[in-house]
Structure 1
Amino acid sequence: MAESGKKMSLTGLTTLVAVNMMGSGIIMLPTNMAQLGAVSLLSWIFTAIGSMAIAYCFAQCGIFCPRSGGMSAYTEQAHGKSGFFLCSYLYFLSLAIANVAVAISAVGYMTEFLPWLGSGAIPLFIGTIGLIWITTLANFGGPGITGRIGAITVWGVIIPVAGLCIIGWFWFKPEVLIAAWNPNELPISEAVSRTIPLTLWAFLGMESAAQAIDAVENPKRTVPLACLFGTLGAAVIYVLSTTVIQGIIPNAELANSSAPFALVYARMFTPMIGNIIMVLAVMACIGSLLGWQFTLAQTAKMAADQGMFPNFFSKITAMNAPIIGMAVCAVLQTLMALSTISPNASAQFSKLVSLAAVTNLVPYVTALTGLLVIMYKAKVSASVYVRNSLVLLVALTYSFYALYSCGMEAVFGGTLVLVIGYLLYASIAKRFVGTPPPPLSEIGDA
């Protein structure tokens, strides 16, 4: 047990939560949101409220169910072993899809230095799988190296994005934002709905906020507050940065940019500054991808340790790296990149984000519903039960709305992989059955 004085404070944990969520999720969003206009900024309001509710509920799950397994463990409380498997399976797929989207983001920024990467579908595909395999091989050194690199490179996105929230207002022109408000003349409800998957993408990762319970002071107070404040802090930075950039760069130009933050810094200062931002963004993406590749392999290893994924995912080296599992994950991501191949980085990114959101939202729903059983088993007070149930209702309402907003194609794809998940679980379900039932012949003779 760590000494109280050496544990993380509310400020420290709040900062950690915000940094973990921001990562590289923001760097392509201005381009994708500009395709619908500045009206898309309204979706931040719904996503910020929904994300804070989800983060708070996960914090409560972690407090009252302090067992390993994260969302899968919470799901099992309400939905049994099959729920544990399906949550792990879908979360694993969502991370794999998200990794491909992060790699595409990095390639989008690299096209300014290597124009060939943006010259067609094949060059974009080659650049994407190149980054996937480079970050996979780099993880063979174990989690220590991965953690140190990620802790440094993540600031390559956070500093420029947070900095834009402060200094960008000196270049902000209200008339540019007004002109960009709704170029497609869509109903506001439709415009907001169509950008919900994009804004949700920026908050994915909030489910990890409750994993530091053992390392913080007064966790029953600190963890829920840090989840809320950290999510709110990220939301403020997201809203301000995307608003500022849409008030500096004309909408048509922003909608066609492969490196929106580099573009705005070049416009505010000089092309040289824009190039520096571009390098920082690529570094941040690679660092983020490095960390998520390891998280992907660890998610598969956790499920394999429970007997739910193939045994090769559990094999680790002396450096504590599951390299066989990592290689299999890289192959899977290569196939995903190939199946969504497109000559346009922004179009491919948007398609992957919607699918990643669907495959992440289903585990969110199954894990969140586990909170009701978790609170029942923990015998919480009536006031805590009512308060948490109300927040849970907000979290689930947003999750259902977000699923609807992801669109028919993404929901259809998510449904297919869910059905495949049920078929896969059926093939291993016998491992988790206790005493087998007697043969039918014996039942008939009784």
Structure 2
Amino acid sequence: MDTVEDQAIKRPFGFWMATALVVGGMIGSGIFMMPVGLAPLGWIAMIAWIVSIAGAVSLAFTMSRLAQAIPAATGAIAITGATLGELTGVLIGWSYWVSVWSANAGIAIAAASYLGAFFPFIRATPLNGALTAVALIWLLTLLNLGGAKAAGRFQVVTTLLKIAPLIVVIVLAIAAVTGGHAAFQPLPSGVALGGLATGVTLTLFPLVGFEAAGVAAERVRDPARNVMRATMAGTTGTGLLYLLVSGAFLIVPMATLAGSSAPFELFVSTYWTAEAALAISAFAAIATIGALNGWVLIQGEVPLGMARAGLLPGWFGQVSSRDVPVRVLFLSSSLASVLVLFNSSASLGQVFVFMALLATCSSLWLYAAIAIGAIKRRIAVPTAIIGLAFAVVAFWGAGEKAFAWSFALMATALPLYLLRPRVALAEQPAE
């Protein structure tokens, strides 16, 4: 039986740390670049946000109810395997793992881009930006090697800091509108269904991460209670904050916003001062680095949970004395680094868009599986149906190319399915 000290190492996340993991994973590079992508949609973007938030909250509730119904499962991926079968569990888990390390590549690129405002050499060449992104990936990998508790504390601090720019934009918008210095863009005459579907897919990327506490349930104390509380509080709170921020950007002319490479900096410099805008860039860098930290943690937890559930070979389940999956962390960060360097000839913005799209589409397989599993078990059926419909719409909005890439990468897990153990792994000895 584990001692109290062992439990503290293996399950260091209480409610607040688990919530910080959810919020910190969601608030990252996506929201700080999203106003540019949504600018052509105008008010339709607000409808897209409402649809995406409703879908994310429905999926979050469904996932949490499944976790309560299957308390022995080591996270959301293991739950998928338990409800839909081992093959489905392996394919879905592998796809989600691909989404995590590819997202880390994109987040690291975005962080390097924000840091370039203070260190111009980063933006001097695409290779400089790529090397900076790789360095950030490995710095946060080293932090996570110290154990989940150290990573969790870092996540709490950066989460508190990264909310500041969002609050600033909301307050500035309120002041500008009430003071007569700005007005909202006119309402559209109608809503184009195709544009709405694209908007739903775009707004999903900043919401990816609501499942973080469920995926890392093995690190959460009293998971049956705290996973639900942290997931719902983090998802609902962040979703409402995003909705207010998106509404604030409706006072900026669409053409001006669409041509910006740093929308938050543009907003603050327009409605406040250039000095304050530079400070916002610093907070944006903190936000992306904090998000990267949380996702580096998750990229290790996904294969570890799958291995302990018997869905992957035992190699993925080896841990250090601090219960850290060192092998998987190194593998994941290596793949993210290769992805960054492979695209180092392109601009930072182009690389970010590609990786964000790949990560979002790959994560949709997990969301759809969670909803289908809940419907099969007759758990939270109404929210599961809403979540499944949301996933289908998001797949449609992503387009054929992203769908095909995510499917092809998911299929690479088939050899691992054949090598999996026939029973769930016992606790692995420390390396």
Aligned to 2:247: 243
Calculate percent identity across the aligned residue pairs. 24
Residue 432 of structure 1 pairs with residue 422 of structure 2: yes
2:103 is the alignment partner of 1:111:
no
Aligned equivalents of 1:276, 1:36: Cα separation in 2: 28
2:333 equivalent in structure 1: 330
Q: Which residue of 2 aligns with 1:71?
A: 76
What is the CA distance between 1:150 and its match in structure 2?
Answer: 1.3
**d(CA) in 2 for partners of 1:315, 1:14:** 24
| Residues 22-72 of structure 1: per-residue CA shift (max 9 Å, x gap) | 431422212222255553332102111111211111121112111232222
1:119 Cα deviation after fit: 4.1
For residue 386 of structure 2, what is the aligned residue in structure 1? 394
- Is this contact kept in 1: 2:77–2:302, CA < 8 A? no
Pairwise mapping of residues 217-236 of structure 1 onto structure 2 (< 5 A)? 219=225, 227-228=231-232, 230-236=234-240
AA paired with 1:333? A
**Whole-Å separation in 1 of the counterparts to 2:296 and 2:18:** 24
Distance in 1 (CA, whole Å) between partners of 2:241 and 2:161 is 15
Encode CA deviations 1:94-135: one digit per residue, 9 max, x unaligned.
111111121122122122222333344323322222221222
**Which structure 2 segments of 5+ residues have no match?**
8-12, 425-431
Partner of 2:429: none
Letter aligned with residue 194 of structure 2: E
Aligned position for 2:358: 355
1:79 & 1:261 partners in 2: Cα distance?
43
The reply to whether residue 289 of structure 1 matches residue 292 of structure 2 is yes
Structure 1 unaligned regions, length at least 5: 376-384, 435-446
Q: Judging changes above 3 Å, is the alpha-carbon distance between structure 1 residues 273 and 284 closer, same or farther for their aligned structure 2 residues? A: same
Distance 1:142 1:17, change over 3 A: closer
Matched residue SS, 2:85: helix
| TM-fit CA distance, 1:312 | 4.3
SS of alignment partner, residue 127 of structure 1: helix
Does the residue aligned with 1:347 lie in a helix, a strand or coil? helix
Q: Which moved more, 1:318-327 or 1:362-371?
A: 318-327
The answer as to 2:185 corresponding to 1:178 is yes
> Which residue is 2:414 aligned to?
422
Once the two structures are superposed, what CA deviation does each residue of 1:318-361 show, in whole Å capped at 9, x if it has no partner?
A: 34333332222111002222344463333322222221122111
Deviations 1:344-389 (A, max 9, x none): 33332222222112211112222222224444xxxxxxxxx6xx22
Alignment correspondent of 2:211: 207
- Look up the match of 1:299: 302
Alpha-carbon distance change, 284 to 178 in structure 1, aligned in 2, over 3 angstroms: closer
Query: What amino acid sits opposite 1:432 in the alignment?
Result: R
What's the offset of the Cα at 1:404? 1.2
Question: Per the alignment, do residues 424 and 345 of structure 1 end up closer, same or farther by CA in structure 2, a change over 3 Å counting?
Answer: same
1:272 aligns to 2:262 (yes or no): no
Spell out, residue by residue over 1:134-173, the C-alpha distance to the aligned partner (whole angstroms, 9 max, x if none): 2222322222221111110122221221332234221247
1:311 shift after superposition: 4.3
Structure 1 residues 393 and 372 mapped into 2: Cα distance closer, same or farther (>3 Å)? closer
Superposed CA deviations along residues 70-96 of structure 1, whole A, max 9, x for unmatched, are 222221233222122122211111111
How many equivalent pairs are there?
Answer: 408
Aligned residue identity for 1:178: Q
Kept in 1: contact 2:21–2:156 (CA 8 A): no
For the pair shown, which has the larger CA radius of gyration, 1 or 2?
A: 1
Query: In structure 2, what is the equivalent of residue 48 of structure 1?
Result: 53
- Residue 258 of structure 2 corresponds to 255
Structure 2 partner of 1:190: 194
- What is the one-letter code of the residue matched to 2:387? A
**Range 108-117 or range 29-38, more displaced:** 29-38
Tell me which amino acid in the other structure corresponds to 2:133.
T
TM-score by length of 2: 0.83
Residues 263 and 234 (structure 1), Cα distance of their counterparts in 2 relative to 1, 3 Å cut = same
Task: Tell me: CA distance 1:251–1:118, structure 2 relative to 1, closer, same or farther (3 Å).
Answer: farther
Preserved contact between residue 75 and residue 368 of structure 1 (Cα < 8 Å): no
Query: Aligned partners of 1:198, 1:47: CA distance in 2, in Å?
Result: 9
Letter in 2 for 1:247: I
Q: Let me know the Cα RMSD of the aligned residues.
A: 3.3
